[in-house]
Structure 1
């Protein structure tokens, strides 16, 4: 249980730092919304994966495999989904 709290605390610190850096360095509301939504989805996914890892380690590996496939797929589908290169 100590590692579960540690990883949640670590994630909270990391994503709070990323959010702070995003607010400081991003210019324009549109870019801030895009970056903020990415950070929010990433944080949610992180905390879901941490809780899945601690509750059911057999489910963690297939979820990571799906995440890897989606991440690699987004490299090629980004232009089609978001309408142009960023």
Structure 2
């Protein structure tokens, strides 16, 4: 059975800290959506270019952009996904 853990919570609640610990302890892939978005923007990917003006306004990305960005990352992972 595959192991998948999703941590939800407000900013600065420890999601990143606990997520990295769990990923290391359980041998899972760790995904930070914030880091993933920053990387897409910095790497000037097509999706990153579309996301940049939305993020610059401090708005959340619509699912139509966020899901493909996460999907690309998940397709590259093997640890638990």
Rg larger for: 1
TM range (shorter): 0.3 to 0.5
TM-score, normalised with respect to structure 2: 0.36
